[in-house]
Amino acid sequence: MPEPLDGAAEPTVARVIAEFLARRGVERVYGLCGGHIQPIWDEVARAGIQLVDVRHESAAVYMAHAEAELGGGLGVAMVTAGPGLTNAITGIANASKSCAPVLVISGRPPRPQTGMGALQDMPQAELVAPICRRTEVVSEQRHVLPRLDGVVDAALGAHGPSGPAYIDFPTDLLKEPMAARELDRSWMAVREPSVSYPDPRDVQAAAELIRAARRPLVISGRAALRTRDELLRFVDDSGALYLDTGESRGAVPADHPASIPAMRGRAMSEADVVITLGRRLDFQLAYGSRQVFAPDARFVRIGPTRDETAENRRADVEVRAHLGPALRALVELGMRGAGRDTDWSNGLVASNTTRAERLAATLRDTEPCGDGLMHPYAVIGALNELIDEDTIVIADGGDTLSFARVALAAPTYLDPGALGCIGIGVPFAVSAALSFPTRRVVALIGDGSFGFTAMEVDTAVRTGARAVFVVANNQAWNIERHDQLVTYDGNLVGVDLPDCRYDLLARSLGAHGERVERAEDLDGALRRAFEHAPAVVDVVVSREPVSGDFTSGLAGVPARQALQAWDDAERVPA
């Protein structure tokens, strides 16, 4: 943290911003330098905050996003004006969809050039306003600290869903000495986030409905990762079966007796009471459709925002509160009913175990495909042997993500999220390795997705981020390739990515790089990669396997639902 700024010399506005960040506990800022933000860039470095300089601004936001997700606090990205900000927009959109608390700081042209066609002058706040929780355009010293405080509050979800918030400053303001009368350090103080508590009447109604359930099912969202202890007590006390989602994977151990990830479809269609915890009923959950869930299923929805308690389908009981206090209140009342259908729950658990064992055998015994190349499951099986309970796992891609969601071990897990924002693999892994340098970090990435942010391997090298990037290289955008083969009469257009050597790219950037073409060479290559990280392992895999996302119809983008079977069900009269 910089020295207190109350000496004789007046600090610049940029120095005050750096002090604000330091006092708020920010340890690193991800960004790419540029003239419009250079005054803050310099002061942030002098304040002892690590500046992680990236090769593309969207990667800076991805990295801030991953830090926020994994650490549970605020991620900070700083990008310069104009194209710096527009480059960052995809990252901001992904953070918005994922409710990741990210502060984005930018600059803009000096005030005397306003409206004159200045270099990189754009309506930046207007561009990002639809995907930010709050935007601020600061022009006066008196607004610097109050509005910084406001955007951080908004990012952390003080008054609604968490997510990205944006603030920018003109460069001439950043260089000004800050008047003593404007330097009120009370704005810099860390404040505990507010917590919303449930209405006791809602808790009572929820408990009664859960007690009366015969086939209760819990589905969790992102907030479950911050309330693991309460979640486990709730699942155990309620006697419900449990499904995670991509955003809550790892909140409940994979071997928990109530966890049935392999029986997702059947559990959704047969449960009579569905309890959602901090989870939107979005496309991944069929919008709560009565054609996908049991037609007479009753819903208990718990979360602090309307999106999580009422979007797409109103619940029979809606508990508008943060998960921790809501789950504790329910456990205190007790939810275990006498009429549970144990044959149903035991049958699903047994079927889940059988499927899991079958999948483990498939991973262990996967044979080469018809073209002689490895199945993606061979790569996942080899990785699973090296993933321990402390490993941070990132999955990125289309085809690759589909296989990974089913089979990849993931004690701590991130993926592209509900936006489907491929290209996050390398930046997420770099951020994870910087935030948790003693933990093993591995990203399994499709070759197409790797191309979006492959240059961030250079960032890993320069910052010493010991991440391993495993590229499943089938030389294609393979879901789209299968779609064109099946749906478009084999008219293959823009889906081939031949002859790329990602291992050689890694070596050229100073990272360890290996190419693997045989399954028997995987274990040794992966072990060397972890030993010499940052590292890229370029694994040649077959195009022949068809992923679950393709067979479910996801690539075809059905009209009413995400998956073709769900879409067909919508068209059948109830």
What is the set of active-site residues?
Answer: 480
Question: What residue type is assigned to position 390 of the chain?
Answer: D
**What are the phi and psi torsion angles at 193 (to 5°)?**
-65, 145
Longest CA pairwise span in the chain (Å): 77
Q: How distant, in Å, are the alpha carbons of 231, 279, 320, 399, 450 from that of 275?
A: 12, 10, 13, 30, 37
Using omega within 30 degrees of 0 as the cis cutoff, is the peptide bond preceding 112 cis? no
Q: What are phi and psi of 440, to 5 degrees?
A: -75, 130
What is the rounded distance in angstroms from the CA atom of residue 101 to the CA atom of residue 103? 7
Q: Which amino acid is at 467?
A: A
What's the one-letter identity of residue 13?
A: V
Q: Contact, 228 vs 256, CB < 8 A?
A: no
**CA pair distance 225, 220, nearest whole angstrom:** 9
Nearest to 80 by CA among 139, 31, 118, 117: 31
Coil/strand/helix, residue 341: coil
Tokens of 543: 């195009």
Q: Give residue 36's identity as a one-letter amino acid code.
A: H
Q: Is 284 helix (H, G, I), strand (E, B) or coil?
A: helix
Written as six digits, the tokens of 101 are 């608390």
CA 246 to chain centre: 8
User: Which phi-psi region, left, alpha or beta, contains residue 278 (left: φ > 0; alpha: ψ -120 to 50)?
Assistant: left
HEC-encoded secondary structure of 54-69: CCCHHHHHHHHHHHHH
- Do residues 274 and 299 make contact, with C-beta atoms less than 8 angstroms apart? yes
Q: Which tokens is 449 given?
A: 């997705």
Closest of 122, 104, 121 to residue 113, by C-alpha: 121
**Exposed/middle/buried for residue 546 (C-beta within 10 Å: 0-12, 13-18, 19+):** middle
Contacts of residue 3, defined as CB under 8 A and 6 or more positions apart, other chains included, come to none
Rounded to whole angstroms, the Cα distance separating 94 from 105 reads 17
Three-class DSSP category at 294: coil
Cα separation, 416 vs 240, in Å, equals 29
